[in-house]
Amino acid sequence: MEDGRPSSSHTGESLLFLTDEQLRQGIEAMFFAYRGFTADPDRILSDMAYGRAHHRAIHFINRAPGTTVNNLLSILGVTKQSLNRVLRTLIEDGLVESRIGKFDKRERHLFLTEEGEALEQKLSDAQRARMRMAFRDAGPEAVAGFRKVLEAMMDREMRYTYNRLRESGS
């Protein structure tokens, strides 16, 4: 594969990555990589009574402290009933604190407790270690491409959310 021709045809070279076979390989790469991506936190969580949904909630509460339930809902893309079940256990277990809004008292602002931050750290350490390894192995140019393709693959609203988090994060 990789065509073999001595890189003469410009169009041939620049469109090769759009063949069905290349697209299929991209699809499979996403599938297998996502498995690796979630494997480490999943292992940690399986010992406790928590799952991937708890991880996601903890991640984004840590990322945007004081976020409202509604906001978190739109980030995670699940129903409030589904999120509520997760949030309730996290609050009961003392990992998340829910404070009534100062201005709008209907809103609940979510924060991690010290204990919650400790778990977040533990989970994200594992996940970042894998990401760091992958980034290091692949090199900076590859990482830029990785981010570019992933961003192009998101739905519009998700891309917007993603970029808002990026701005606030750094």
Partner DNA sequence: TTGGAATGTCAACAACACTGACGTATGCTC
Partner DNA sequence: GAGCATACGTCAGTGTTGTTGACATTCCAA
Mapped onto helix, strand or coil, the DSSP state of residue 109 is strand
User: For its own copies, which residue of 31, 81, 92, 168 counts as binding (CB under 8 A)?
Assistant: 31
DSSP string, 43-106: HHHHHTT--HHHHHHHHHHHHSTTEEHHHHHHHHTS-HHHHHHHHHHHHHTTSEEEEE-SSSTT
Do residues 113 and 106 lie in contact, with contact meaning Cβ atoms separated by under 8 Å? no
User: For DNA, which residue of 70, 133, 138, 162 counts as binding (CB under 7 A)?
Assistant: 70
Closest CB to its own copies among residues 13, 100? 13
What is the C-alpha to C-alpha distance for residues 67 and 111, in angstroms, rounded to an integer?
8
Site residues for its own copies, window 99-138 (CB under 8 A)?
124, 127-128, 130-138
Site for DNA, rule CB under 7 A: 49-56, 68-70, 73, 76-88, 98, 101, 103-108
Site for its own copies, rule CB under 8 A: 1, 13-14, 16-18, 20-37, 39, 56, 59, 63, 77, 124, 127-128, 130-155, 158-159, 161-162, 165-166, 169-170
